[in-house]
Structures are given as structure tokens and as C-alpha cells.
Structure 1
Amino acid sequence: MNTSYLSGFGNHFSTEARPGALPEDQNSPQVAPLGLYAEQLSGSAFTAPRHTNLYSWLYRIRPSVMHKAFKPLKALTEKTFMKPEHINPNQMRWNAPKALTGNFIEGLRTVCGTGLGHEQRGLQVHLYSFNQGMKNQFMMNADGDFLFVIQSGNVQIKTELGTIQAEPGEIVLVPRGMKFQVNPLDPGTACTGYVGENFGAPFRLPELGPIGANGLAHRRHFLTPVAAFEDLEGKFELIGKFNGALWMAEMGHSPLDVVAWHGNYVPFKYDLRKFNTINTVSFDHPDPSIFTVLTSPTDTPGVANVDFAIFPPRWMVAEHTFRPPYFHRNCMSEYMGLIYGVYDAKTAGGFVPGGGSLHNFYSAHGPDADSFEKASFTDLKPHKIEDTMAFMFESRTAYMLTDYAMEKGFLQEDYQDCWQGFKKHFKG
């Protein structure tokens, strides 16, 4: 399958894997070209405003409705998409999970989150670990978008609209309702990472306001695959996710049989290293919102269902300023992960690549004692933070935890110790 890309976020794309597969004047002519079937995939209500209306027209070898009845996969659901049920007020941190063998679906584990697909709000955070391809299995998530954060191992994500290859430091979004398959790009290689499952409004670029036209993530760096297709017959399985549960339907052909498509409801990838970081060049520490890559808005202006923010390499030049993230208590809830390197607010260790942390709403947090002492009394020369990439899923709702998240050896039970060593500097 072709792995070429089209660039731009939110654009209307047209691409065909066979010349003449796209109709010239109509979306659904009486007879589609090349004997194909015309099918629309909607990512928004038909009557959504033009700037938020999401859809793609697919011209495929067989219509999507050609599958047998879905049957529940209760055992697989209980092992993978566990329901978050516990609220815990403590600051929490996790080690990197144990490596799992098997394919992508078998290697998913839910850590925390809130909301479900039928509520159309909230986010759940999953970890993945796999070393095998999905072969004749495909997945379709009717609940929400999947935002993949690649942590280790190169992956191949085959979708109805084409194939995406991604490496650590890149993210991939597969929209709600789109069929896809996730494989190691190099067979047998262990692949690990994070998945943010967004049940709310589709991700979009944040408004730039006074920043102007050229800050943060630029739309031209988002890459969408060109049309590619599989014309395969045999025994295939479609794994569907509906309201938190997995179901399976048998198919007699590969569902990735779209020969041409046009629209703006598309999968994409983005290289986080292309993010144009905005920072202070005078004094004080900017709020972490300045690092937002993508946002899922709510009906309350300025309050996100989820913001996806990153903390990449950047210059620190502020004078008379405590440079690491400040101590704070937030009305938003924050799940953080580390792709590689060391996070500048946790230099004493414990926050490791592949691991994560959770600070629920109004849970006090900030730099550990080691980071505080170093940043408070160092000579403030210009300094570049290098070789690191952390990220955050920030939401207005509290994250609940799964039983998996509470397992011994995975949960760091001594996380609060990193804040117990602060010295008293008050001089009265």
C-alpha cells in the first residue's frame, strides 16, 4: 500500500489510487466510476456549520455494510478496555508497563479516564504494547477518535483512506468510525505508546490570538495518506468498539478497499519535533496552555474537553524567574506521559519514558525537591532543554482509574516522597 502523504490540517483533499476512480462532478452518480460503490463517512452532524462540518466520500470495491452480525467479545473487553471506576485524590505516578506479546488490540490497557462514547464527552487514556501484526483483523472505534502517541518502535497504521508510518516523537490520529489496522513496521519489534481516546468534539488546532499566524503547530506539517487499497478476499474479522465494549463481525473481504476518496474527515500524523515552541524572553513562566498542539473544545469558551500539549526541547532565557513549571492546583485534570528524555520538573527520577502521572483537579503538584533547589539557586544563564519530549492530556473532567492502574509494581506508591524534602527558607 502507498505511504505518500498530502499535507495540511482541515483541508479538503482528493486522491485516487487508480486514474478515473473519482467522479468528476457528483459525489454519488447513478453509476460510480470503475464499478465502485460511493459511500459517505460523516464525522459531524450533516447540519454542522461549514467550518466544523467533517465528512469524506469513499469510492470502494464493496460497501461497508457487507459483514455478518456483530458478536460481543466480553473476555477481550475485560482484559483491554477496562472501565475506569475509582476516584483517587492523591497525586499518582506509574512505571512503564510490562512488555506484552500479541497484537495491538490484545496489548491495549486502559489506565484512566472519564466519559463513554454514548455521552460524547470526556477522554480515556490507554497504553499499548505489542510485537505482532493484526493479520486478518481490523478495528473500528464507534466511541471516539484514537490519538496515538508513539513511544517506542515504528508502527504502520493502515486505514480505509491509506497507510501511515510513524516513529517515536510522532502522533497519529484515526477518526471515530474509521476502520484501521496497527502493525509493527519491523516484524517482531516491540512497540509501545499511549492512546488518548477522545469522546468529545474532534481535535482541532487551537486559536492563536496574539501569537499570530506562525506559532505552535502549523497546519502544513500535518500529513494525510493518499488513497491506497486492498482487494483481498478470505476470512477477516472486524473488531468494533461500541460504548466501551468490543464486538466482532466476520467479513469475506478486507475492509481497506477504498480506491479513491475526497473530503476532510481524515486520519493524519504530525511530527512533534516540528512544533514551534513559544516561550517568554523576559520574565515569569508562561502557562502550559502555550504548548497546546490540538484541542477538543466544549460549549464553554476557553474550557477544553481535552487539550493535547507537549513539552519539547526549548530555550530557557527568563530572568529573575523560577524556570521549571510552577507549583499549582488546577481546576483541570492532567495526565502526563514521557516519550523520551528527562522532564525538567522531575529531575530526581521516577518519571520515566513509557510511564505516566496523574494530577486530578485541585490536586497540588509541581517540581520535585531536587528540581526546586537547582532552579532556585542556579545562575540564570540562557539554557537549552534538549533531548526530551513529554506530553499532557488535560481535561475539565476528573479522571477515574481502572483496577489495572492500581496494580502493585505498576503504580508508584512512593510518589509523594519526591515532595517531602523541601527545606524551610522562611526568615521571618
Structure 2
Amino acid sequence: MAELKYMPGFGNEFSSEDPRCPGALPEGQNNPQVCPYGLYAEQLSGSAFTCPRSSNKRSWLYRILPSVRHKPFQAFEQKNLTQNWDEVEPDPNQLRWKPFEIPRADEKKLDFVTGLHTLCGAGDARSRNGIAIHIYTCNTSMINRCFYNSDGDFLIVPQQGNLLILTEFGKILVEPNEICVIQQGMRFSVEVFGETRGYVLEVYGVHFELPDLGPIGANGLANPRDFLTPVAWYEERTVPSGYSVISKYQGKLFVALQDFSPFNVVAWHGNYAPYKYNLDNFMVINCVAFDHADPSIFTVLTAKSMRPGVAIADFVIFPPRWVVGNNTFRPPYYHRNCMSEFMGLIKGHYEAKEEGFQPGGSSLHSAMTPHGPDMECFEKASTVKLEPERVAEGAMAFMFESSLSMAVTKWGLQTSNRLDKDYYRCWEPLKSHFHPDQK
């Protein structure tokens, strides 16, 4: 495996060139009449040209051949990737899925694209407002094919197996307990090393950013310097049989053929690039007096809506931490939320449900649907000695939280056969402790 190098920082202006071609980045202007080494200049815009400087996103790519040179796009087999939120009737119940099965390669070959399965979502890619949540299960690397998303950004959360992601900007190795964001329009290919599974949060129309810290102050949560961006790397390779460029456009898949590798960017500069982040670098802010703090204090990245303080999607994690609150109920409280809460588990046991919620599985608690700790967790937390306690040791759970009311797909409710139909039973043993004659 080639050595991987990264440049730290989130949202900064970067410049990078493959060390095999020193001086590939032009000096003095973005788009000279003749680029060094006879390269083509191509701009990738992630925002409107007229966005304020603070939110304007673009990068210049200096490549051997421009990406425009390809055959016409044709429809590509859709499989279980969808944006049809009306396949089945809405279901407001608490939903939980067992770990999603990964087919064996000798039974059914699936790469990252063909292994994408849409579980739930809301909104519309054409109007540039909405989200989708996908599960990927794959066992085969993408060979002579790449993918790009015209609809939005992918936040990828590996749960089992490493991903070596080759992008136009360079290579990114992403392991479980790390995340990777591939932003709108960026072409990438995924190499895997066996049976691989994870989660994808897709957002339309906006990009992920760090949440504001407010009263927390200057330090805390995810630090910009811990986000890593790849160093330029190129391959000059012809593919006479055809290299497949797969595009997700308006929720549908299309494919175009070209006779060269799209990963032919020798140098690039700008502030619009893929990046990864190690969840172990998150600085936890937690309660030390009383009450269970809101999960918003665990937000890693947010995709903001037009309403202040309301997100189209938040990416929230529940890492190992100390619980030190005095005289208070410490686990997550019983809750009805105006937001939709999708949870996944990367490893270990989730503190509020140690049984049933498994790594590689997930749950969805829709808007205003009640949820909370199961009976065993409630009883234990109500009687345990209150002293400093280390929770979630060896575990990492996460949540995709959204202001949108999400619909579950037919695959999620029926076809996948992983829906836990007994999920509701974890609350049935809860009993009344009410005694009107005593406090």
C-alpha cells in the first residue's frame, strides 16, 4: 500500500502537488495561458460564485486530461439506492435493525456503489434540500470505476473493514472509528480488504461544518487541526476497455465511459477537498453537577438549515467519558423530540441499551416518537451508587439527527429482513413506582 500523507486543518486554503512533478502548481495566477507540464486547469466549485468569502468553496485541479472528456451518460442499475420516500406508508414506531448482513464475495460481489442501500431520508435533491441515510455492505474493490455525487455530500462512517479511498485530491485510508467526508462532485473509488460495512449520511444543498462553540469557549469538541486532507497523487493510465464514471444525479445513477483514469490530478489548491477525522480526537464536554446534558454537546459536524440553531443534519458521537453528575439520573432520559434521531453503533455496547443494539445495526426514533432507556438500564441507574463512573469504555455510538421527518424505504422495512420486530418489548417490563402517600 502506498504511503499516505495528509495536511491538517478544516476549511483552510490548501495547496498540494505530487512530489514526482515539482512546480506543477502555477505561480502568480490560478489559470495561466499554459500550465506547467502541459496540464489542464479545471475548477471544482462547491458553492455559488457569489457566496460570501467565508462560505465560498472552490478548488483548482491541474490534471493530465480534463474530466469533460467522456462518452454520454447512460442509466445505471439502481439496485437499493433510492430517493423515493413514498414506497411504503409512513411508520411512526420506534424502529431498530439488527446488523446488516454482508454477502460473501463468492456468493455475490458488491463494491461500494452496488452495495449502497438507502434506509431512510427526506427532502429532494432537485430542490437542494434534504438528507438520505444509507448502509453500505461490500466485499469487492471498485475496479476501473469511480463514483461522484451530484446531489450532495457523503459523510462515511466505517463500522467493519478499512476503506482505501482514491480521490482526485489524493488517497485517504479510513478505518473504523474514523469518518470521511467526500463533498459534492468529487470523484472517488473505494478499495476494500474483505467484508466491509458502514453508514453514510448524505446531505443535499449544504456542506458539513464545525458547530459554533458558544458558551463552551474557544476549545472543545472537534478541533480544526485534527481534520486531515490528502496530499496530491496522480496516476497516468489508459483503460482501452473503458473506465466507468458513475454519477448520482437527482437520486438516479448514470454511467459514462472514458479511456483514462480520472485520478490524473497532478496538483491542486483551494478550500474544497475531501477530509477525514479520527473520533478519538474529540474533546468531550460533560456534566459535572446534575442532570443529563443534551446530546448536542457531542456534535462533531453540522449541516445547517436556513433557521438559526436548527440543522438539516448533525453528526453526534457518544465516546468513552467520565460521568460525574451528583444526585441525578445519569443515562439518556425518556424523550420525545421534534427532531429525527438515527443511531448506529461502531463498536462496543451502547450505555442505554446494552442488549439488542449491536455494532453494525441501527435505530430510528422519528419526530415526537417516545424513546429512552430500557427497563434494565432504568432500574440499574435508579439504584446505583452515585460516584464518578467511566461510561462507554471500548464503545463508540453515533447519531445522525435531523430537523426533517424521515421516511423509511421499502428495503429498510421489508426487503432487508433485518428489522427487529420485537424492539418495543424492551420497554414493556417498565412498571409503575408511583406511591401517592409518600415522596
State TM-score, norm by structure 2.
0.94
Rounded Cα–Cα distance in structure 1 between residues aligned with 2:345 and 2:127: 29
Give the structure 2 partner of residue 417 of structure 1.
Answer: 425
Give the structure 2 partner of residue 25 of structure 1.
Answer: 28
Give the structure 2 partner of residue 356 of structure 1.
Answer: 362
Gaps of 5+ in 1: none
Q: Is contact 2:154-2:183 (8 Å) kept? A: yes
1:409: Cα distance to partner?
Answer: 3.5
Q: Is contact 1:236-1:253 (8 Å) kept? A: yes
Residue identity opposite 2:12 in structure 1: N
1:212: Cα distance to partner?
Answer: 1.2
Give the structure 1 partner of residue 6 of structure 2.
Answer: 5
1:383: Cα distance to partner?
Answer: 0.7
Rounded Cα–Cα distance in structure 1 between residues aligned with 2:205 and 2:81: 21
Residue identity opposite 1:362 in structure 2: M
Give the structure 2 partner of residue 52 of structure 1.
Answer: 55
1:2: Cα distance to partner?
Answer: 5.2
Count of residues in correspondence between the two structures: 422
Rounded Cα–Cα distance in structure 2 between residues aligned with 1:249 and 1:296: 31
1:82: Cα distance to partner?
Answer: 6.0
Q: Is contact 2:100-2:361 (8 Å) kept? A: yes
Rounded Cα–Cα distance in structure 1 between residues aligned with 2:199 and 2:211: 22
Say if 2:201 is the partner of 1:196: yes
C-alpha distance after superposition, 1:295-338 (max 9, x if no partner): 00011100001000001101011011111111111011111100
Residue identity opposite 2:126 in structure 1: H
Moved over 4 A (4+): none
SS at match of 1:118: coil
Say if 2:368 is the partner of 1:368: no
Give the structure 1 partner of residue 106 of structure 2.
Answer: none
Say if 2:411 is the partner of 1:404: yes
1:200: Cα distance to partner?
Answer: 3.3
Gaps of 5+ in 2: 104-108
Instruction: Give matches, 1:125-140, under 5 Å.
Output: 125-140=133-148
Give the structure 1 partner of residue 238 of structure 2.
Answer: 233
Residue identity opposite 1:177 in structure 2: G
Report % sequence identity: 52
C-alpha distance after superposition, 1:114-165 (max 9, x if no partner): 1232121121111111111111010011011111001011110110000000
C-alpha distance after superposition, 1:32-76 (max 9, x if no partner): 111000011000000101111100000000011000000011xx2
Rounded Cα–Cα distance in structure 1 between residues aligned with 2:50 and 2:382: 54
Q: Is contact 2:62-2:267 (8 Å) kept? A: yes
Partner residue of 1:218 out of 223, 237, 243: 223
C-alpha distance after superposition, 1:233-280 (max 9, x if no partner): 112000000011000000110111100000010100000111001001
Rounded Cα–Cα distance in structure 2 between residues aligned with 1:2 and 1:144: 29
State TM-score, norm by structure 1.
0.97
C-alpha distance after superposition, 1:181-205 (max 9, x if no partner): 0111x3xx11110011111310000
1:81: Cα distance to partner?
Answer: 3.3
Give the structure 1 partner of residue 290 of structure 2.
Answer: 283
Q: Is contact 1:335-1:357 (8 Å) kept? A: yes
Q: CA RMSD in A?
A: 1.1
Give the structure 1 partner of residue 41 of structure 2.
Answer: 38
1:98: Cα distance to partner?
Answer: 1.3
Rounded Cα–Cα distance in structure 1 between residues aligned with 2:356 and 2:417: 13
1:83: Cα distance to partner?
Answer: 2.7
Say if 2:66 is the partner of 1:63: yes
SS at match of 2:399: strand
Rounded Cα–Cα distance in structure 1 between residues aligned with 2:129 and 2:321: 33
Residue identity opposite 2:361 in structure 1: G
Rounded Cα–Cα distance in structure 2 between residues aligned with 1:380 and 1:223: 40
Residue identity opposite 1:61 in structure 2: I
Rounded Cα–Cα distance in structure 2 between residues aligned with 1:402 and 1:72: 21
Q: Is contact 1:116-1:143 (8 Å) kept? A: no
Give the structure 2 partner of residue 119 of structure 1.
Answer: 127
Q: Which deviates more from structure 2 when the two are superposed, residues 409-418 or residues 216-225?
A: 409-418
SS at match of 1:178: coil
SS at match of 1:79: coil
Rounded Cα–Cα distance in structure 1 between residues aligned with 2:6 and 2:134: 27
